[in-house]
Amino acid sequence: MTKHIWCARPRSNERISVPRRKPSRRPTKHRTFSVINPATGDSLAMYPIATQKEVRAKVEKAREAFRSWSKLDAEDRATYLLHFAEVLRKHKADYAETMTLEMGKIIRESIAEVEKCAWAADYFGQNGPAFLRPDIVATDAMRSYVAFHPRGVLGSIMPWNFPMWQIVRFAVPALIAGNTVVVKPASASPQSALNLEMAFREAGLPDGAFQIVVGDRTTATALIRSPVSVVSLTGSVGTGARVAREAARDLKKVILELGGSDPFIVAADADLDAAAKGAVAGRFVNGGQSCIAAKRFFVVDSVAKEFLAKFAENMRRLRMGDPLDPSTDIGPLVSRTQRDEIEGQVKDAVAKGAKVEVGGKRGRRAGWYFEPTLLSDVTRNMRVLREETFGPVAPVVAVPDLDTAIREANDSEFGLGASLWTQDLARADDLAKQLESGMVFINGIVKSDPRMPFGGVKHSGVGRELSRYGLLEMVNIKTVEIFPGNPGASAVRKETE
């Protein structure tokens, strides 16, 4: 039976983490890096950084696996994904605990993340074969259709904030399409990625079809430069630009899911109780460390004071603490650097006239905590509006009307998601059209869903993930036209229909 690395079951009141197998704490010939528990600042384990030679060996192994994996019927590949979903559910508690230890996500959200991964595997296992069926097109040919064929080995560079989900939402569509996958995970959360590798293995996936390569930026560069057909990245705008430039050297396709500074707009006719609850859920998921978290709040003047009061009331109920405690609502930020960045953004806002309604300080405990923070009197010259705020800070801007709110929301280099709260549903489609983003949610918070495409515009990315649209980013969309070539063509036609 597959053994998973982390054991965090306490023998006393103290929580511990003990590696059962690799990575080892013993010295190695490799360069190494440590994974730090952000709730305590303690080192969890040390991992070797893969060399360029090791990266290329994994890609070559994936190419070998592609030869057989791509020849399977989509229905057969789907069976492996359905088994993978079962494995995820079986190990849900262990996988969730690993995520929480590595990057500080509260345990309830970690459990939900594993469940969502299983849902995506089920969804593409059940629907992927239909998505890949050829589209018949009427032309002047005897028969013409659009086929969807795999592209080969796909390389992916993934972040730490959703350490299993972001890998799965890329890998599962790629695999059902017949590709093989090599993923370089974030150095903050390598074990969560390695657990996925073991889960695919336990599900019976052929050796080499899904592989993890652990390392740092040099590892990522080696993966991009290796003979992969497509490069996928979820990360910052700066990293995305560097990856795109590197991939362009060999004219490789890129799929980029980058930063977001999603607006949360409250109209004068909004249900303020629902909007305030949605604001808390949308801003503080994963401690605010989400590309699609609500990050800029625009509220029409006539309801701004009441909304701010309700928002503050809901925020004060949030409990900051040990992320392994099921009653905790806010855990630590992933690192000291991230905590200090958020603190700097808040100090900048206060120095320029913003008012702290709730929070505003570091947490008084070990680890990289920052209090859930609500800011009012926010203006455009403050960093919390100009930059992506990747932490538990909610800046609120009062605006004269809904048109101004939409104009201010669109005044950003980002265009990932947007949330708008109004009871005028007759205008919902028109309002959604006006917002410059890849996703719009009316009276709901922005979220990913295997059934719907995920991605942004402007500096928020290139391409889409999830749904049939995301799957088609990972295939060769091939035009096929067949014309009669001999007197027996009609017989051939009958056989192919």
249, two tokens: 């050297």
Residue bearing tokens 């992969």: 228
Comparing 6-258+463-477 with 262-442, is the CATH topology the same?
no
Q: Is the pLDDT of residue 4 over 90?
A: no
Q: Is the pLDDT of residue 29 over 80?
A: no
CB neighbours of 492 closer than 8 A, spacing ≥ 6?
A: none
The domains of the chain are located at 6-258+463-477, 262-442
Cβ-in-10-Å burial (0-12, 13-18, 19+) of 28 comes to middle
Q: For the segment 170-185, what is each residue's pLDDT rounded down to a tens digit?
A: 999 999 999 999 999 9
Q: How far apart are CA 203 and CA 380, in angstroms?
A: 51
CATH code of 6-258+463-477, in short, is: 3.40.605.10
Q: CATH classification of 262-442, choosing from 1.10.3720.10, 3.40.50.720, 3.30.70.100, 3.40.309.10?
A: 3.40.309.10
- pLDDT value, residue 86: 99
Q: For the segment 221-242, what is each residue's pLDDT rounded down to a tens digit?
A: 999 999 999 999 999 999 999 9
439, two tokens: 């996703």
Whether omega for the bond prior to residue 48 falls within 30 degrees of 0, making it cis, is no
Q: For the segment 322-371, what is each residue's pLDDT rounded down to a tens digit?
A: 999 999 999 999 999 999 999 999 999 999 999 999 999 999 999 999 99
* Confidence category of residue 486, pLDDT binned at 50, 70, 90: confident
Length of the chain, in residues = 497
CB neighbours of 337 closer than 8 A, spacing ≥ 6?
A: none
pLDDT (average), residues 93-104:
99
- pLDDT value, residue 16: 32
CB neighbours of 237 closer than 8 A, spacing ≥ 6?
A: 258, 259, 413, 459
CB atoms within 10 A of CB 249: 9
Read off the pTM: 0.92
Give me the active site residues, please.
257, 291
Q: Is the pLDDT of residue 24 over 80?
A: no
pLDDT (average), residues 112-141:
99
> Which of 74, 201, 68 is CA-nearest to residue 134?
74
Question: Where is 114: in which H helix or E strand?
Answer: helix 107-131
> Which of 66, 75, 173 is CA-nearest to residue 123?
173
